[in-house]
Structure 1
Amino acid sequence: MTEMRKVPLKTGVTLNVALAGRADAPAVILLHGFPESHRTWRGVAPLLEDEFRLVMPDQRGFAASDRPTDVEQYQADKLIDDIYALAEALEIESFALVGHDWGGAISWPAALRGDKRLTRLAIINAPHPVVFQKSLIEDADQRAASQYISAFRSKMFEKGVESMGYEALFEKSFSRHVDLGLIPPEERAQYIADWSEPGGLTAMLNWYRGSKVMVPPPGVTLPLPDWVTGAFPKVEVPTLVIWGMQDKALLPIQLEGLDRLVDDLEIVRIADAGHFVPWEKPEAVAAALKPFLQGQRAA
């Protein structure tokens, strides 16, 4: 049974957290992405909760967690601080980290901190920062697929949503990526309720606005930043990457070169799923995660 708890963090925010599984089982923190909440894991959690202590927060700015108003409060270092502060607040001494989309995007650098509490890393359709930035500059298809980021950063985006309505935003957010029939009516209603809370949409968009990633417009030639071409620290913890291969926003090029950036890497490709694979194919995701989280090779 899932328990909901408000957890104040020393980072200054209070997160709404879903907890499942035994309190004495190995801990796993699962981080959702945009534009979701802890409910990302609604299909995966029941398949893992017998073996693990699952900690599934609404990240800052999302759903029922706090929504700081300043864009600076959504920079990567603060988002990563929340992860470790959450572990501390729940008295978790060691944990595996699983992240999808934005949850995965901040899990990569969280692993680079070298904090010994983080023992294993699982990434689901979320790009490594070096691979992503390189592809945005060098690969025309990935650059084209990522132009939505520039739209999200526009100060006019919220006004556009006000004009078209949140139902239309729901359609635009998901219809390109997944059969909308997979989303139950009550889930659709919860998404829209979360987004339409005062400041809710802006807080989610601030994840994009606080990010340092460069998204050039099509046809512009830019040099690679020094941090991409220079020596970049490797992820040293065992890492599993699960990828829905039909992802239209984050193309399979994001898997290229990961072996040079991760010491101990496994990749599981799910051919018949796209970006929202945790709830498109929860059984396949759980089948890969369970042995990996138990310290074995992924299924």
Structure 2
Amino acid sequence: MTLSYEAVTARRTLHVVSADGTRVHVEEFGRADGPAVVLAHGWTCSTLFWAPVIRLLSSDFRVIAYDQRGHGRSAAPLTRTGYGTAVLADDLEAVLEAVPPEGERAVLVGHSMGGMTIMAAFGRAAVTSRTAAVLLASTGSGRLLGSTEVLPPRFSSRWLRRFFHRQLLVSRLPLGPITPMSRKAFAYGVLGAAATREQAAFTARIVHACKARQRAAWGRVLAVLDLDTEIAALDVPTAVLVGTHDKLTPKVHAREMAKVLPRCVGLTELPGLGHMTPIEDPEAVASVIRELAAAHAVPSTEVDADVDAVAGQGDAVVEEKSA
């Protein structure tokens, strides 16, 4: 199958309103009566990041993707209190309460910061009651600065690596135009050695679209991340996936998570791949999602195909467009 890295046309789009009033952009794809899959992207990305995976799932699933706050078409927080894992959890909770049909449990898929969002949200009844299974892809629960390998260990001290990686996270410097050099830099940092030029260009396009202020603010959150307690309480069938050459969240994180998860149902290590596993091998990611859905997800008997019914739930949802 030839992969496409262009945006997929959503069946409908909407905004949900999070606990602090932040508007979160949501897109829905695929079958209105299919089992629900909810996709949460990572730092500096957007719903576009999931395009190759959405194409592979849309024929059989109701695929729901949303922009994390401060990314894509979701609103940016107005104050510093609008950044943190707790508000990411608020946003996911708002999406789950507003979009999947009543009584349906979805497969939650989180890449990088999206996986951290799921960990942070999972103690909440509104989230646990709507979750059938989880896929944590290319992510970690804490201690990111000490394990990141963008600056190779053999060329630097531990102190220098931590300093460099923190600056990489919190820098507010603009990325500038996309050039052959910037594409190579992104490919080195977040993709495996065998990544194609198209994958490198797609990655650069997504990351460059994230505004510097929001990129740095979320980078500060990631620099002090500690969700070890939360992941130990993630008590649903959970699969873990990682590329063996992931420099941002190396495979040590995946292996540690697999050990502490109460109901880990599998650890998939994709040889030679980097951090952007849904871009580098969307078929492998989609395959794990399908396995989780087949084993654990049951679609609701009530098909929520009526846009007006969703909009009528109250101020939590503001409908924009139905395709």
TM range (shorter): 0.7 to 0.9
- Structure 2 letter corresponding to 1:250: T
Q: Distance in 2 between matches of 1:189 and 1:10?
A: 27
Q: Tell me, which stretches of 5 or more residues in structure 1 are unaligned?
A: 215-224
1:275 aligns with 2:278: no
**SS across alignment from 1:43:** helix
Listed as ranges, the matches of 1:160-239 within 5 Å are 161=174, 167=179, 172-178=185-191, 179=195, 181-183=197-199, 188-189=204-205, 191-192=207-208, 194-195=209-210, 200-211=211-222, 213=224, 233-239=232-238
Match of 2:95 among 62, 86, 100: 86
Q: Distance in 1 between matches of 2:162 and 2:12?
A: 34
Q: Tell me, which stretches of 5 or more residues in structure 2 are unaligned?
A: 1-8, 297-323
Q: Distance in 2 between matches of 1:81 and 1:175?
A: 33
Deviation by residue 1:194-234 (Cα, 9 ceiling, x = unmatched): 33xxxx221132222234726xxxxxxxxxx9x96x99843
Instruction: Tell me: CA distance 1:149–1:13, structure 2 relative to 1, closer, same or farther (3 Å).
Output: farther
Q: Distance in 2 between matches of 1:124 and 1:145?
A: 24
1:36 aligns with 2:45: yes
- Structure 2 letter corresponding to 1:2: A
Question: 1:54 offset after TM fit, Å?
Answer: 0.7
Q: Distance in 1 between matches of 2:83 and 2:293?
A: 29
Q: Cα RMSD (Å) of the superposition?
A: 3.3
**SS across alignment from 1:183:** helix
Question: 1:61 offset after TM fit, Å?
Answer: 0.5
- Structure 2 letter corresponding to 1:6: L
Counterpart residue number, 1:76: 85
Q: Note if contact 1:6-1:14 (Cα within 8 Å) is conserved in structure 2.
A: no
- Structure 1 letter corresponding to 2:25: N
Counterpart residue number, 1:222: none
Counterpart residue number, 2:138: 125
Listed as ranges, the matches of 1:254-265 within 5 Å are 254-265=253-264
Deviation by residue 1:28-65 (Cα, 9 ceiling, x = unmatched): 11011122111111111111112211111111000111
Instruction: Tell me: CA distance 1:153–1:89, structure 2 relative to 1, closer, same or farther (3 Å).
Output: same
Q: Distance in 2 between matches of 1:172 and 1:184?
A: 9
Q: Note if contact 2:190-2:246 (Cα within 8 Å) is conserved in structure 1.
A: yes
Aligned residues: 272
Q: Percent identity?
A: 23
Deviation by residue 1:74-133 (Cα, 9 ceiling, x = unmatched): 11111101001012222544222100011112212223445221221101100123xx46
Question: 1:166 offset after TM fit, Å?
Answer: 5.9
Instruction: Tell me: CA distance 1:37–1:4, structure 2 relative to 1, closer, same or farther (3 Å).
Output: farther
Q: Note if contact 2:172-2:215 (Cα within 8 Å) is conserved in structure 1.
A: no
Instruction: Tell me: CA distance 1:3–1:146, structure 2 relative to 1, closer, same or farther (3 Å).
Output: farther
Match of 1:6 among 14, 19, 28: 14
Q: Note if contact 2:145-2:162 (Cα within 8 Å) is conserved in structure 1.
A: no
- Structure 2 letter corresponding to 1:176: G
Counterpart residue number, 2:251: 252
Q: Distance in 2 between matches of 1:289 and 1:146?
A: 34
Instruction: Tell me: CA distance 1:113–1:45, structure 2 relative to 1, closer, same or farther (3 Å).
Output: same
- Structure 1 letter corresponding to 2:286: A
Listed as ranges, the matches of 1:141-152 within 5 Å are 141=153, 147=163, 149-152=165-168
**SS across alignment from 1:286:** helix
Q: Distance in 1 between matches of 2:139 and 2:230?
A: 21
